[in-house]
Amino acid sequence: MSEELKNKAAALPDKPGIYIFRDNAGIPVYIGKARSLRLRVGSYFLSTRDRKILQITAETADIETIMTGTEKEAAFLENNFIRRYQPKFNLRLKDDKHFPYIKVTAQEEVPRIYLARRVEKDGARYFGPFSPAHQARKTIHLIAKTFGIRTCRENIPGHRSRPCLDYDLGLCAAPCVDMVSEEEYADRVRSALLFLEGKVDMLEVKLKLKMRLAAKEKRFEDAARWRDFLRTLEEIKARPQFITAGLENKDIFGMASMDDLTVILFFPMRRGRLIESSRSVLSGRVPDGRSFLPFLQSHYEGRSDLPDTLVLPLLPEGHEPWLADLSSKKGKKISLVVPQRGTNKKLLDFAGRNAEFALKMAGEARLPLRQLQELFHLKHVPQRIEGYDISNTGGDESVGSMVVFEGGIPNTDEYRRFNIQTVDGPNDIASLKEVLTRRFKKLDREGGAPPDLILIDGGKGQLRAAEAALAAFPNQSIPVVSIAKREEILFSDRYPDGLRLDRTSSVLKLLQNVRDEAHRFAITLHRRKREKRSFSSILDDIPGIGPSRKTKLLKHFNGTAALLKASEEELAALVGPKTARFVHSKLHEQIDR
């Protein structure tokens, strides 16, 4: 796997962005930012003795990347994703501190400006975020010095008879003692807001003229002040384009198509922050206004976290009834935009650039799929492959798994597990029939995406069992392939006596990946069930542990291993010192047997 990941890293773009290392379950274990994704991610696979890097790469099954325009944008996105996912190997940025904003209390009669860590619905204007924080403080200082906007918490009108020290230092126009008229102060606030909004092209020209004039007249302190102000202006212009201040809740969809393959990337923005991403790979005709609506309907089916705005690359035909229904579920009108300019267009362009790169990667991953189609004479390129496996120990705690690969890439959102209900004893073939029957009954009843190919872990017996189960669903004509372990022989209707592929075959590697993922996913649930039963039975055998105490221990310790490692003190906190000594002793007696 490390060689695969190394090759994937080498194919990454030489552009800034964030990278997400995911484990076998698709859970992020580490998130980082990079000036060059190719160089930074590639460095993890160089020879090293760094223990943390070795742990990260050992647990990594896949790498996901998101490109940004600048390294600073990557830093903000990294912060958002780490807070969202809390990866185990990220030690920094997990706390509740946020990049700061500049807050202008525009809702007050005499507005003030100061640094804020959170954006709230209070009528104020927020600008940012800023990184590092001293840029925000520096900007506030310059605005106070240039426009005379107050930074204090003074009540106006108050009881002050003379201005404070800020006025003497030239950092405030002192509206608290009427040193400036209401009209003039309001004009100063408007100018400051224009500056913070970046609408300052004319202001920039004037500031440069003032700076040059001051330097020419040897007023170097004034020249330096205007120079610093211009630099701050450039920093504000360079703020991340796709992370906006405010409380916007938007869903952004980026799309890219090539031949008969389309990739759609989904980026939800909550409270002005991009928090995650997901990818859909579609085969067949490139989505247009008519076919895009079914995709959106499927995407939002069952979702409760609905946005205020959908930012789309094209207008879905006949979307009005669906959008009205979605708005009804939210209890608030949801708007739909296909932007041509402004912030939403920048967001859409960002999503589109990442979709184009994902399309390139999906195109490369699709080569084995085309070869798979030719090898087994399939009607279509098998865009969606479902892999199935059964796991048990002597027939106990049997479970089945279904994993889904779309475009040759795992789609963990579609994975399913099955507790075997009708089979007693170690009967993998009967268990497989049950799993497939339940899966396709649900598909017939509720609809959804049927697979283009089914892969079974096993030999001829498992293949025949799968075909027998599917025979009960004549409307589902789906080809089945099985792969036998050790010899890695493929069986299908076309190859009833088996097919051996070269060990380096990309088709074989793809099918092995699907098989191994189905096995991993099944055995994870099986071990969990077996451990829970073992855990429960150990406690059942200890006198003095009734249902209440047993529930408390089961809830606190997540598995037998954690319970066995628990000290008497930890147990005492749950069941008292006397019972803790007895439980600790009895548990270790059972281990020593």
Cβ proximity of 482 and 490 under 8 Å: yes
Question: Structure tokens of 202?
Answer: 């004319």
* H-state helical runs in 301-382: 320-330, 342-365, 367-376
Question: Structure tokens of 282?
Answer: 């579609």
| pLDDT of the residue at 4 | 74
Nearest-angstrom CA–CA distance, 453 and 381: 9
Which of 270, 276, 274, 245 lies closest to 117, judged by CA? 245
Nearest-angstrom CA–CA distance, 241 and 350: 9
pTM exceeds 0.75 for this model: no
DSSP lists the bridge partners of residue 482 as 456, 491
Q: Which tens digits make up the pLDDT trace of 177-232?
A: 888 888 888 888 887 887 777 666 666 777 788 788 888 888 888 788 778 777 76
Nearest-angstrom CA–CA distance, 279 and 277: 7
The CA dihedral of 370, 375, 378, 384, to the nearest 10 degrees, is: -50
| pLDDT of the residue at 592 | 46
Phi, psi angles (nearest 5°) of residue 117: -95, -20
Nearest-angstrom CA–CA distance, 427 and 395: 7
Residues of the chain under the 50 pLDDT cut: 1, 94, 96, 243, 245, 394-395, 526, 534-535, 591-593
| pLDDT of the residue at 30 | 92
**What's the maximum distance between 2 C-alpha atoms anywhere in the chain?**
100
Could you tell me the domains of the chain?
A: 2-85 (3.40.1440.10), 101-237 (no CATH), 250-365 (3.30.420), 371-528 (3.30.420.340), 541-592 (1.10.150)
> How far lies 48's CA from each of 36, 42, 43, in Å?
20, 12, 9
| pLDDT of the residue at 593 | 43
Burial degree of 447 (CB within 10 A; 0-12, 13-18, 19+): exposed
> How far lies 90's CA from each of 40, 50, 53, 100, 493, in Å?
16, 15, 12, 21, 49
| pLDDT of the residue at 337 | 93
DSSP lists the bridge partners of residue 252 as 267, 311
Q: Which amino acid is at 316?
A: P
| pLDDT of the residue at 395 | 47
Helix axes 577-592, 568-575, angle to 10 degrees: 130
Place of tokens 């475009």: 407
Nearest-angstrom CA–CA distance, 306 and 327: 9
| pLDDT of the residue at 411 | 81
Cβ proximity of 421 and 387 under 8 Å: no
Which of 592, 552, 546 lies closest to 571, judged by CA? 552
Nearest-angstrom CA–CA distance, 75 and 240: 9
Nearest-angstrom CA–CA distance, 335 and 326: 10
